[in-house]
C-alpha cells in the first residue's frame, strides 16, 4: 500500500476524505490529497471503441497514467476503490465490492447494503472470491495494480478530475453514458439554484473562499483540487485566494501549511472540515486552532463567515456534491 494512498484515505473517504487508516501517521506527498488517492496530474483516460461494438465483448482502454487494458463492453461485476464511490451510485451501478470503511459517515452510507467489503488494505483473496470482471482503483501503487491486474482487468482512475469530466468517462467505461449525461444535466440545475440562493443571501461576486482540515500529527491542510473545493471553485461561485490558486496551478489536490501561514491562505469565507470521528488528535488540533489568536484575528472569523462541515460529507463524489447543493445555502445562512 503506497504512502500516498494511506494519507488520502485516512483523510477522506469520501471525499475529500473519509478516514480509514486512523493509525496511519506517515506524511504524504503533495500529489496525493487528503481528499483523494490519485495524483492530481496526468493525461485523461481514453477509451477505444472496437470496430463492431455490438458484436465485441471487450474493448481497449488506456487509463490516465498509461496502463492499457481490455475491459468488458458492459461490465457486470465491478469492484471500485476510491473516495468518489458514489459516482457509481449516481449511475445506478451496483458494485460487487469496495473498501466499506470509506463509506462510513458519508451521505451515502445507507446505500451500501449488499456490497461486499474487500477491506483496507485490500484483501486479495476477497477480491478473487468476488470474481470481478472489472476493477477500478484510485491507488497509483504499481504493486497494487499488478496484483489486482492478475485477477481482472484493472483501471487506475483519476478521482481528482472535475465531476463534469469524471462522470462521463466513468459512464463510458461502465456502459452508462446516457445516465451520466442525464445526471449531470440535473445536477447543473441544482448547482445553479444553489448559487442563486447564496447570491440572494448576500454572497458578493468575486468573494474568495478557503477550505482547511487537520490530519493526525497536527498537520493542517488547505484544500485545492479535492472535495468541497470542487464545489466552491466554479465560474459562478467562490474564488480561490492567490495562494490557493498557486496550489491549483501546480496541479495539487492539497497543501500542508503551518498555522502561521493562515492569513496568506484565508479567504473571505472559510470552511473548516471536521476530522472523522475516530481521529481524536486531529479533532483536538482543530479545537486548539479555533482558540488561537492567529485564527481569531482572521477577517473572515471576525465577520462571522466561518462554516463547519464533517469531512466525510464534503467530498467531490456525485452524491455528496448533490447533498452539498442543498446544505450550503442552509449552512451559510446561519
Whether 30 and 121 have beta carbons less than 8 Å apart is answered as: no
Distance, CA of 84 to CA of 227 (rounded, Å):
9
Give the model's pLDDT for residue 56: 58
Residue 221, classified by CB atoms within 10 Å of its CB into exposed (0-12), middle (13-18) or buried (19+), is buried
| Structural domain boundaries in the chain | 3-176, 183-333
The SS3 of residue 58 is strand
Give the model's pLDDT for residue 333: 85
Whether 302 and 5 have beta carbons less than 8 Å apart is answered as: no
Domains 3-176 and 183-333 share a fold: yes
The SS3 of residue 280 is helix
Domain 183-333, CATH number (from 3.40.50.1980, 1.20.120.450, 1.10.760.10, 3.40.50.10150): 3.40.50.1980
Show contacts of 323-326: CB within 8 Å, 24+ apart: 323/107, 324/228, 324/231, 325/187, 325/190, 325/191, 325/193, 325/194, 325/231, 326/190, 326/194
CB atoms within 10 A of CB 218: 14
Which residues, 6+ apart, have CB-to-CB distance to 67 below 8 Å? 145, 149, 154, 155, 156
Single out the residue of 6, 2, 139, 144 nearest to residue 64, CA to CA: 139
Whether 17 and 282 have beta carbons less than 8 Å apart is answered as: no
Q: Which helix (H) or strand (E) holds 324?
A: helix 318-333
Please write the tens of the pLDDT for every residue from 27-65: 333 333 454 443 333 445 554 444 444 445 999 999 999
Whether 154 and 135 have beta carbons less than 8 Å apart is answered as: yes
Give the model's pLDDT for residue 34: 52
Show contacts of 216-219: CB within 8 Å, 24+ apart: 216/10, 216/22, 216/24, 216/25, 216/279, 216/281, 216/282, 217/25, 217/27, 217/281, 218/281, 218/285, 219/27, 219/256
Single out the residue of 45, 275, 66, 21 nearest to residue 160, CA to CA: 45
Q: Which helix (H) or strand (E) holds 83?
A: none
Which residues, 6+ apart, have CB-to-CB distance to 159 below 8 Å? 36, 37, 38, 82, 83, 84, 138, 166, 316
Distance, CA of 287 to CA of 77 (rounded, Å):
44
Instruction: Provide φ and ψ at 314, rounded to 5°.
Output: -125, 35
Distance, CA of 166 to CA of 325 (rounded, Å):
19
Q: What residue ranges of the chain have pLDDT lower than 70?
A: 1-56, 334
Please write the tens of the pLDDT for every residue from 262-289: 999 999 999 999 999 889 999 999 999 9
End-to-end Cα distance, the chain: 42
Q: Which helix (H) or strand (E) holds 218?
A: none
Cell representation of residue 231: 464545489
Give the model's pLDDT for residue 45: 56
Question: Tell me, which fold does domain 3-176 have in CATH?
Answer: Rossmann fold (3.40.50)
Amino acid at each position: 500500500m503506497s504512502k500516498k494512498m494511506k494519507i488520502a484515505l485516512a483523510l477522506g473517504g469520501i471525499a475529500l476524505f473519509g478516514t480509514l487508516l486512523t493509525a496511519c501517521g506517515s506524511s504524504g506527498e503533495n500529489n496525493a490529497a487528503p481528499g483523494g488517492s490519485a495524483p492530481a496530474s496526468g493525461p485523461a483516460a481514453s477509451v477505444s471503441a472496437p470496430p463492431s461494438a455490438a458484436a465485441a465483448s471487450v474493448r481497449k482502454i488506456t487509463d490516465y497514467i498509461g496502463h492499457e487494458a481490455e475491459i468488458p463492453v458492459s461490465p457486470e461485476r465491478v469492484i471500485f476503490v476510491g473516495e468518489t464511490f458514489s459516482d457509481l451510485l449516481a449511475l445506478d451501478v451496483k458494485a460487487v465490492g469496495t473498501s466499506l470503511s470509506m463509506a462510513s459517515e458519508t451521505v451515502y452510507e445507507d446505500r451500501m447494503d449488499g456490497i461486499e467489503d474487500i477491506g483496507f488494505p485490500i484483501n486479495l483473496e476477497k477480491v478473487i472470491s468476488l470474481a470481478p470482471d472489472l476493477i477500478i482503483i484510485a491507488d497509483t501503487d504499481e504493486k497494487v495494480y499488478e496484483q489486482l491486474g492478475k485477477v481482472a482487468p484493472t483501471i487506475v482512475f483519476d478521482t481528482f478530475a472535475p465531476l463534469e469530466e469524471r462522470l462521463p468517462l466513468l459512464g463510458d467505461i461502465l456502459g452508462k453514458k446516457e445516465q451520466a449525461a442525464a445526471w449531470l444535466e440535473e445536477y447543473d440545475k441544482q448547482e445553479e439554484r444553489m448559487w442563486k440562493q447564496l447570491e440572494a443571501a448576500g454572497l458578493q461576486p468575486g468573494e474568495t473562499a478557503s477550505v482547511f482540515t487537520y490530519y493526525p500529527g497536527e498537520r493542517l491542510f488547505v484544500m485545492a483540487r479535492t472535495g468541497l473545493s470542487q464545489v466552491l471553485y466554479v465560474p459562478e461561485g467562490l474564488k480561490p485566494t492567490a495562494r490557493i490558486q498557486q496550489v491549483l496551478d501546480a496541479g495539487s489536490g492539497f497543501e500542508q501549511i503551518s498555522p502561521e501561514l493562515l492569513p496568506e491562505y484565508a479567504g473571505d469565507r472559510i470552511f473548516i472540515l471536521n476530522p472523522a470521528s475516530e481521529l481524536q488528535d486531529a479533532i483536538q488540533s482543530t479545537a486548539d486552532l479555533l482558540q488561537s489568536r492567529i485564527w481569531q484575528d482572521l477577517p473572515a472569523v471576525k465577520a462571522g463567515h466561518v462554516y463547519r462541515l464533517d469531512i466525510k460529507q464534503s467530498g467531490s463524489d456525485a452524491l455528496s456534491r448533490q447533498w452539498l447543493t442543498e446544505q450550503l445555502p442552509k449552512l451559510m445562512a446561519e
